[in-house]
Amino acid sequence: MTTEPDSPADAGTRGTGSQTTPAATEPSVPAQPTAEKPDEVSTDVTPGEAVSEAVSESEAVSETAAASDSTASSDRTAASVSAAVRESVPVSETKGDLTPREISPEPGAKPKIGLADTLFKNLTRTAGIGLLVLIGLIALFLVLRAWDALSANEGNFFTTETWGANDTPPVFGVAALLFGTLLSAVIALAIAIPVAVGIALFITIYAPRRMASALGYVVDLLAAVPSVIYGLWGLLVLAPHFNGTQMWLNDYFGWIPLFDVGEGSVGRSVFLASVVLAIMVLPIIAALSREVFLQVPITHREAALALGATRWEMIRTAVIPYGKPGVISASMLGLGRAMGETIAVALVLPSTFNISWNILKPAGNTIAANVANGFGEANDIGRGALIASGLVLFVVTMVVNMIARAVIARRREFSGRAA
């Protein structure tokens, strides 16, 4: 009798009976630890859904672990910052109170100032106030010493051209002296400023470094020469050889009243004194202008050159506008030096008292030169008159300086108070 093999269904039916067949020859797989499952598990889960659930659970676990690590890191950072703050900021002395103490001062509380700061502040204040007091005392001295002479004067002190302070009765005025002082100083500046600015520009821009250092040293050395040396040089060397230059100015520029000599001659004139004064104030203006031009930012100069400007255009657009207030200050210092110069002008100029616009004639005088020439022979009224003229020069110098400060104040970018 022939038997047919069992079908898979029959085999499965028989496998559910009481008798079990041996396990198949498949290799045994070690058991993997799995999470506890609920009691009721659906048996209708496909293999794909199982894989998806496993992946979702793995991602959830990873996110939870990352969040835990981030939280722990934040806690550690906060703890470190708190520890640093506690170490750097002192706590209050109250027991158990860990609140940081206030660092900023209370409203209305004055900051603590050390002894050195207080001492330095008082010294600088004393120096500033002392300078003002000194200027006031000088002005008071001049007024008190000149009062008797001004009271005894029979002429108008501001309009009289003659000077007879030693006569009886005394008649004197400061008009001619003040005119000669201002005229010679202005002409000296007109000669010295272009030359000084040219020297400063050459030293700072054109000259090589070694040549610039040597020229700067020579210019500074000129400022140390005593004024009496300039006066003797002007009297003994320049005056004899300067007549030709003055005659040439009269011949070719005589149509200008300043150079019209007429039938007269030339000699020790206001123009000669102005040239000597120009040489004296030249190193002052040149040295200060050089220092100002050296302060021009290099980026300004390089920017002008990068835009295609020549050196002259760079100087005209970048250097001179920046240094103009400094040149004005230097010029005002030179003007004060020219107006107050005594010995050099006294040696060059003759002692005449008249107002003349011609600067080539041998005539003219200044306040400082008149004081130097007449103080030794003056009586009490004469000395008072000379001191009164010195008071006028003092006031004029103060006014000139205040005007210069007003001009510079309009260029605030130089002083740094406005940008």
Contact 293, 319 (CB under 8 A): yes
CA atoms within 13 A on the CB side of 249: 20
Would you say residue 56 has pLDDT above 90?
A: no
Residue ranges of domains in the chain: 174-415
Longest dimension (CA), the chain: 184
**What CATH class is the domain 174-415?**
mainly alpha
Cis peptide before 30 (omega within 30 of 0): no
In residues, how long is the chain?
Answer: 419
Q: What is the pLDDT of residue 272?
A: 92
CA–CA distance, 176 with 314 (Å, rounded to integer): 45
CA–CA distance, 18 with 351 (Å, rounded to integer): 156
CA–CA distance, 137 with 273 (Å, rounded to integer): 32
CA–CA distance, 345 with 366 (Å, rounded to integer): 8
Would you say residue 128 has pLDDT above 90?
A: yes
Q: Torsion angle of alpha carbons 176, 178, 181, 187, nearest 10°?
A: -90
Q: What is the pLDDT of residue 283?
A: 92
Its pTM stands at: 0.69
CA–CA distance, 113 with 288 (Å, rounded to integer): 37
Burial class (CB in 10 A: 0-12, 13-18, 19+), 379: middle
Q: What is the pLDDT of residues 133-190, one digit of tens each?
A: 999 999 999 999 999 999 999 888 998 888 988 888 889 999 999 999 999 999 999 9
Q: What is the pLDDT of residue 233?
A: 92
CA–CA distance, 147 with 98 (Å, rounded to integer): 77
Q: What is the pLDDT of residues 256-299, one digit of tens each?
A: 888 888 777 788 889 999 999 999 999 999 999 999 999 888 88
Q: Is 18 helix (H, G, I), strand (E, B) or coil?
A: coil
Phi-psi region of 262 (alpha: psi -120 to 50; beta: other; left: phi over 0): left
Burial class (CB in 10 A: 0-12, 13-18, 19+), 293: buried
Q: What is the pLDDT of residues 10-38, one digit of tens each?
A: 444 444 443 444 344 444 444 444 444 44
CA–CA distance, 70 with 35 (Å, rounded to integer): 26
Q: What is the DSSP string of 346-408?
A: HHHS-------S-SSSS----HHHHHHHHTTT--HHHHHHHHHHHHHHHHHHHHHHHHHHHHH
Residue with the bigger pLDDT between 83 and 323: it is 323
Nearest one of 156, 154, 159 to 175, comparing CA atoms: 159
